[in-house]
Structures are given as structure tokens and as C-alpha cells.
Amino acid sequence: MTDSEAVKVFILEQSYTLTCPAGKEASLRLAADNLDQKLRGIKASGRVLGLERMAVMAALNMSAELIEAQAQLDTLETALEQLDKRVSDSLS
């Protein structure tokens, strides 16, 4: 059985106590800080009103960033495979 840890995070000055697997506390705090920054940016823009809409916009923005990062990772993996093949071929 995995041990869980309670972690208090703040998002838009609201306190949340969440649980996560032991050893993952720093990741949870980082994720909460990232979400807080996204929500503050959306709030500061003044274009989106209401916490629920702001949360949806933050989720969509973060999802788009994740998709972009995955595409970049795929491109790098392909380039690395090609480089590995060229090195292997030249050593043969």
C-alpha cells in the first residue's frame, strides 16, 4: 500500500489540502503553482469572468502546451533516432 501525504496549496488565495503519493509533494506544489500562475494571467487579462470559466481556459491552455511539448518531444526523438542510425552506419 502506498503512503499518502497531505499537502496544502494555494490557488488564487484559496487554500486547498490535497493528498498525493509520498515523495510527490514537490511535484504537486509545482503543479499548483503553475495552475495559480495560469489563472492569475487569465484573471489579469479581464477577458474571462467567473472562476469556472477561468479554470476551463487554464485547462485548455495547459492542454495545448502539453500537446505542443509532446510534438516537440516526438520531433526530437525522431531526430535522435536518425542521428543514432547515421552514427551506427558510419561505425560499421
The pLDDT-based confidence of 10 (bands split at 50, 70, 90) is very high
pLDDT, position 6: 96
Which residue ranges form the domains of the chain, and what is each CATH number?
4-91 (3.30.160.880)
Record the pTM: 0.79
CA angle 8/11/12 to nearest 5° reads: 140
Q: What's the pLDDT band for 13 if we cut at 50, 70, 90?
A: very high
Bridge partner list, 5: 20
Q: Given its phi and psi angles, is residue 36 left (phi above 0), alpha (psi -120 to 50 degrees) or beta?
A: alpha
The pLDDT tens digits of the residues spanning 25-73 come to 999 999 999 999 999 999 999 988 899 999 999 999 999 999 999 999 9
Cell matching residue 11: 490557488
- Distance of alpha carbon 42 from alpha carbon 47, whole angstroms: 7
The pLDDT assigned to 2 comes to 65
